Amino acid sequence: MDDVVSLIEGEIPRLRRYARYLVRDVDRADDLVQDALVRAISNLDKWQRGTNLRSWLFVILRNVYINDLRKLRTSPAPAELQDDDAAVGVCGGQEARQAMVEMERAFNQLSEEHREVLLLVAVEGLEYEEASRVLDVPIGTVRSRLSRARSALRDILQPSSGVGGKEWIL
């Protein structure tokens, strides 16, 4: 059990990033992660060795989040990422900072479904199958949403004129 607990500890930074994305508030995100970890550890006997622990934890986190939303019956006000927020990354030079600002604006223009699938696959590195389980949708839906999200992000970041647009690898 100690080896599984240490594996769970290794997933905490990813869980925190996903929770911050979901609730847009650092304190609420930490509470959400704590609730998810308590639920995961108390149900550790239900996790099957050999299956993906990260995916299992993300499903638990998302279910805790959905349960909290149902209890509140109001949607939380989204909070902007702060300059010192670890999820933003380390600020580079002026160009790198501007590129991050543009990417954040473009990302926030995407639909909720597109932002969520991009976060899980492109940022957190989940496989399509894992993202499918986390989002509780068929794998084809994940692939389709991801393709449309990447395309939409490219369209936002590269103006149709083709002049002065940045090249992003998505």
Domain with CATH 1.10.1740.10 in the chain: 2-72
- pLDDT at position 164, please? 47
CATH topology of domain 2-72: Rna Polymerase Sigma Factor; Chain: A (1.10.1740)
Return the H-helix or E-strand segment holding 51. Answer: none
Domain with CATH 1.10.10.10 in the chain: 94-157
Neighbours of 3 (CB within 10 A): 7
CATH topology of domain 94-157: Arc Repressor Mutant, subunit A (1.10.10)
- pLDDT at position 86, please? 60
Sign, Cα dihedral of 95, 14, 81, 103: positive
- pLDDT at position 65, please? 93
Distance CA 43, CA 18 (A): 21
Could you tell me if 121 and 146 are in contact, meaning their C-beta atoms sit under 8 angstroms apart?
Answer: yes
* pLDDT < 50 regions, the chain: 161-165
Distance CA 52, CA 88 (A): 27
Distance CA 127, CA 122 (A): 9
Alpha helices in the chain (DSSP H): 2-23, 26-42, 53-72, 94-109, 112-118, 128-135, 139-157
pTM: 0.58
Query: What does the pLDDT look like over 69-110, one tens digit per residue?
Result: 888 776 556 566 666 666 555 555 778 778 888 888 988 999
